[in-house]
Amino acid sequence: QVQLVESGGGLAQAGGSLRLSCAASGTVFSLNVCRWYRQAPGKQREWVGTITSSGSTTYPATVKGRFTISRDNAKNTVYLEMNSLKPEDTAVYYCNTDKGLRSYWGQGTQITVSS
């Protein structure tokens, strides 16, 4: 059973930074593609970025240049570094990975950015 646990959420001012962590268990983590998503109140879940097992990353235009995903396979952890935060970044952030045919999600962590 794969478990993902996000941490690092909280309050930030516009222009500030936060770093989220996603700790994984129950999988050979180094082989996993990991993704971050977010969901703001009343909106659909939105993809924030992906990191492959080799460390390649992709991002949507909304966060590219501001957000950076990295991973530490020795710690079974993926990180989301968020800089130049904007109020519209306010959301619950989730990490996601797959194992076999199943997709796994963390419980989410709230980020609130004040203007």
Q: What does the pLDDT profile of the chain (115 residues) look like in tens digits?
A: 899 999 999 999 999 999 999 999 988 777 889 999 999 999 999 999 999 999 999 999 999 999 999 999 999 999 999 999 999 999 999 999 998 899 999 999 999 999 9
Q: Reduced to 3 states, what is the DSSP secondary structure of residue 89?
A: helix
User: Distance between CA atoms of 17 and 67, rounded to whole angstroms?
Assistant: 9
pLDDT at 14: 97
**Pick from 79, 59, 82: nearest CA to 69:** 79
pLDDT at 21: 98
pLDDT at 29: 79
pLDDT at 26: 84
pLDDT at 93: 98
